[in-house]
């Protein structure tokens, strides 16, 4: 997976490649889908949601430029896989999910896989997590019509918001940096995610 799907496609951060080599992805898919865990596709995890394609997780993590010890908010826990990769990068991770069953299952899977330090929260992640703000980075694994202002406001100065922006069919993964002059989009690549449902989503 790391060699063929990530390295060969231009993921360059060695820390991201190593972290994704270490996290057992099969621990985050459903029992019946374990053999599909390393395929180059998003895989269903129930409740009409998916564990993101490995390449998309790598893109998000690389774009977030997370350093050890930084505080990160992961919006859209889903299976918990992305949260585990962020934890493997050394971040203090808070992960928020709106579907109770997914949040509970992800929490179990994170503990079983050795990432019990990740805090999973049930709620509307389009509004962030004000009680734990500010964050060095906020990653969003679901597409929004525009970068949610409330998430931007929960970044430290120089912090990075990584979020897919667009309609339900076509989106771009944007990296929005908090600067003294306001939001600066520093990077943008085509992508496709499930919709962010909520106050500042769809
Ligand atoms: N990062 C996940 C991918 C999950 S797919 C993984 O690695 O498996 C996106 C997830 O975002 C879904 O589980 C969906 O329920 C969740 N989601 C959508 N809108 C949300 C919102 N407003 N707040 C929190 N979670 C949301």
Domain that holds residue 54: 2-191
How high is the mean pLDDT in each 10-residue block of the chain (202 residues)?
96 98 97 93 95 96 97 98 98 98 98 98 98 98 96 98 93 97 92 93 91
* Residue from 24, 58, 77 whose mutation best tests the ligand 1 pocket (most atoms within 8 A of CB): 77
State residue 169's pLDDT score: 84
pTM for the model stands at 0.97
Q: Write 144-152 long-range contacts (CB < 8 A, 24+).
A: 144/195, 144/196, 144/200, 144/201, 144/202, 145/201, 145/202, 147/174, 147/176, 147/183, 148/196, 148/200, 148/201, 149/200, 150/126, 150/199, 150/200, 151/73, 151/75, 151/126, 151/200, 152/176, 152/178, 152/183
Question: Is there a domain that residue 154 lies in?
Answer: yes
Counted domains in the chain: 1
Question: Is there a domain that residue 196 lies in?
Answer: no
Point out the ligand 1 atom lying closest to the alpha carbon of residue 96.
24
Residue with tokens 């990653």: 139
Question: Is there a domain that residue 200 lies in?
Answer: no
Among this protein's residues, is 79 annotated catalytic?
no
Question: Is there a domain that residue 199 lies in?
Answer: no
CATH of the domain at 38: 3.40.50.150
State residue 146's pLDDT score: 95
Question: Is there a domain that residue 29 lies in?
Answer: yes
Question: Is there a domain that residue 201 lies in?
Answer: no
């Amino acid at each position: 997976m790391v060699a063929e799907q990530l390295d060969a496609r231009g993921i360059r951060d060695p820390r991201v490649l190593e972290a994704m080599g270490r996290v057992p992805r099969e621990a985050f898919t459903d029992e019946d889908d374990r053999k599909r865990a390393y395929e180059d596709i998003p895989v269903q995890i129930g409740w009409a949601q998916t564990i993101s394609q490995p390449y998309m997780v790598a893109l998000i993590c690389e774009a977030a430029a997370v350093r050890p010890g930084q505080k990160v908010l992961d919006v859209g826990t889903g299976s918990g896989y992305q949260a585990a990769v962020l934890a493997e990068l050394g971040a203090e991770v808070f992960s928020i999910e709106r579907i109770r069953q997914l949040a509970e299952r992800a929490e179990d899977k994170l503990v079983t896989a050795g990432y019990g330090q990740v805090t999973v929260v049930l709620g509307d992640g389009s509004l962030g997590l004000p009680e734990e703000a500010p964050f060095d980075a906020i990653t969003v694994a679901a597409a929004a019509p525009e970068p949610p202002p409330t998430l931007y406001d929960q970044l430290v100065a120089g912090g990075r918001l990584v979020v897919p922006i667009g309609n339900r069919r076509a989106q771009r993964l944007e990296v929005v940096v908090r600067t003294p002059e306001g939001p600066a989009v520093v990077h943008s690549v085509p992508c496709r995610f499930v919709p962010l449902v909520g106050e500042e989503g769809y």
